[in-house]
Amino acid sequence: MIPYRMTPSEWAAEIRWQLRRIGSFFYRGWNGWAPIDTWSLDHYLAGVLAPALRHMAREAHGCPTWICEEYNLPVDEHGSPVDFEYALTRWKDWLTETADWFEWYHKDEIDLVPGMTDAAKREVIAFHEKKMQTFKTIILPAFVRHFDSLWD
């Protein structure tokens, strides 16, 4: 088998693309985003949020008060959780679960494999669409509702 050889114009396009990626690396370092990230900004942000939320879960030093309300945890007279360690665990769980969802969204994969029947493909696609609906109607609204709690 003869290996594929790139034409000079393909090499030029590849070099331009790699230079653009290098430029974007520095632009992103300065601004937190680069113009090429806006081609699919939702996926870029999901890819940033997932590891950031996981980091917060590992390094959490406190938890927001809404955790007590959301999980029906007992609070003292100041509104602080009676069992702080349990509340902190619930906060870390929330951060991790939200990170899992953002990671899923960022990957944007549908588990289609060669040799699947049309019925199996439809089933996999329907499952993906149902999961996407859950992400849009439950996960994102909860994330936005608690957006101001993302501090450490």
Burial class (CB in 10 A: 0-12, 13-18, 19+), 102: buried
105 within a domain of the structure (yes/no): yes
- How many domains does the chain fold into? 1
Residue 28 inside a domain? The answer is no
Tell me whether residue 26 is in a domain. Answer: no
Q: Note down the domain range covering 142.
A: 35-149
Residue 13 domain-assigned?
no
Question: 6 lies in a domain?
Answer: no
pLDDT tens for residues 58-95? 998 889 989 999 999 999 888 888 999 999 999 999 99
- The tens digit of pLDDT for each residue in 119-150 reads 999 999 999 999 999 999 999 999 999 999 98
Give a yes or no: residue 59 inside a domain.
yes
109 belongs to a structural domain: yes
In a domain, 123, yes or no: yes
CA distances from 88 to 14, 16, 26, 103, 144 (A): 49, 48, 37, 22, 20
